[in-house]
Amino acid sequence: MIATDELRDRVREFLSRYDPTRHDRSEFLRARFDAGLAWVHYPPEFGGLDAPRALQPVVDEEFAAAGAPDNDPRSNGIGLGMAAPTILHHGSDEQRRRFLRPLWTGEEIWCQLFSEPGAGSDLAALSTRAVRDGEDWVVDGQKVWTSMAHAAQWAILIARTDPEAPKHQGLTYFLCDMTAPGVEVRPLRQITGEAEFNEVFLSGVRIPDTQRLGSVGQGWRVAMDTLMNERVAIGGGNTTREDGMIGVVADTWRQRPELRTPGLHDRLLRLWVEAEATRLTGERLRQQLAVGAPGPEGSAAKLAFARLNQAISGFEMEMLAEQGLEYDDWTLRRPEVTDMTARGPGYRYLRAKGNSIEGGTSEILRNIIAERVLGLPAESRADKDVPWKELPR
């Protein structure tokens, strides 16, 4: 097993050969991947060193101290947090070689084609069809709430390949080229005035069978791995004390004493403590992830993140009174990264409403926590063993 000092030496030796001030950004990132210094817990042939995941901050700190460019992880969160671990776990060696390197370097952005107008919380009820045609699959359907679809080159996609099977069993997982003929992306304008989400129409889109991830009919099992990683990425992100919205509110409190009241002071302290407890819980979750695969605990982290963000944004609006009602910009935007701390309080209040929907609704996450963490009896599901084609829609 590689030691911390040895890992630091590897980074410094790499930097002696690839001066970040003298190399093109893409060239530098490709070389870093090839040296096994991308995600160190991955196999050597796919950007890693088979090292413990807990050593990743050591590598990142060394590169940051040297002023080296990173791979702009916020712009490709779906690719890095969801597509990459799924491809590593379920993909063939050929798929790993094709996709992981340009994904990590940020040369190819990814999005997620899961939810549909009639299959959001009940994802297994989706109706997008994939029909085998020789060496290809022909896909028809509609997806919705697709972040980054307007900027993505690739998508992770679930489609129904066997309507005769029960809804969880007739699904297959694909890697879809977003530039392929038949893929149409349309913006969805949100309550904030932005259009960071999209609806995607798939009309006769041909996907080679070589871009199928996992076995035919096993798409639900593959998708569960994706969703567990997604919830860890959302709720267990790497943060420092007073990072995010609680930091914005705390700074306002310190800088504007005229806003303070005893009642607000008590509530702010409670929110601050809750934010810190959530941050430390996320740190523990990342430590658990370092020694194994993500589990249902990620659902609890994501649930807490959404509830806390909404509580903090509501507190901020109340603290600022009429000033909190001001909205900085209703212009239609197509952001590639959502930064809630860079906009005004009105934006934060509205945008936080989406936190309890995206990445799994809070209601569904409570079911997951109840059944898979607390061991409570599962809800009755009369449609679980019924062929999908016989289900009312």
Q: What is the set of active-site residues?
A: 230
Give the closest residue to 152 by CA, choosing from 213, 89, 202, 200. Answer: 200
Give the closest residue to 129 by CA, choosing from 107, 110, 157. Answer: 157
- Tokens representing 280 are 């430390």
* Angstrom distance (rounded) from CA 312 to CA 255: 17
| CA distance between the termini of the chain | 53
For residue 354, count other CB atoms closer than 10 A to its CB: 19
- Tokens representing 197 are 């989400």
**Structure-derived torsion over alpha carbons of residues 33, 44, 46, 296, reported in degrees to the nearest 10:** -110
CA angle 94, 98, 100 (to 5 degrees): 110
Chain centroid to CA 264: how far? 33
The secondary structure of residue 45, as a DSSP letter, is G
Burial of 47 (0-12, 13-18, 19+ CB in 10 A): buried
Give the closest residue to 344 by CA, choosing from 320, 310, 366, 364. Answer: 320
φ, ψ (nearest 5 deg) of residue 160: -90, 125
Calculate the alpha carbon distances from 279 to 7, 231, 244, 283, 322 in Å: 27, 14, 10, 6, 31
Calculate the alpha carbon distances from 170 to 158, 315, 360, 375 in Å: 10, 45, 21, 27
Give the closest residue to 343 by CA, choosing from 316, 305, 311. Answer: 316
- Cβ(367)–Cβ(121) under 8 Å? no
